[in-house]
A = this chain, B = another copy of it.
Amino acid sequence: MAKKKLQQTEEKCALQEILGVIGGKWSMSIIYALFTGKKRFSELERLIPNISTRMLVKELKNMEANGIVIRKVFATVPPTVEYTLTTKGEKLEPIINELHKWGVEYVI
């Protein structure tokens, strides 16, 4: 939204906008976990060390609102919820993978 208004600033602030979408402390880890396919809520909690329930919920909601993930609910007892990457989210795979490689080589 507000595409027109953003046009002047988009070059300068694109990176800032992006951080609003995937700049959260856990966003990339969640996306990274979803590269290997759909995951249930509890699976994500187990896959991502030290993340709190609250943060996982929050980031997932934010990412869903931003069209990065899809939330699918199954009317089972107990409830089942699956999270999947959207196409938009999948496009991040090579980028995050490269970033990860960079980190492993230079940061760790």
Contact = CB atoms under 8 A, between A and B. Distances in A.
Interface of A: 3, 6, 9-10, 12-19, 21, 23, 25, 28-29, 32, 48-49, 66-67, 88, 91-92, 94-96, 98-100, 102-104, 106-108
B19 A28 contact: yes
A17 B106 contact: no
A19 to B, nearest CB: 7
Nearest to A19: B25
Contact of A108 (B10, B23, B66, B104): B10
Given A23-B23, A95-B95, A108-B10, A16 B3 contact: no
Contact of A18 (B18, B49, B92, B100): B100
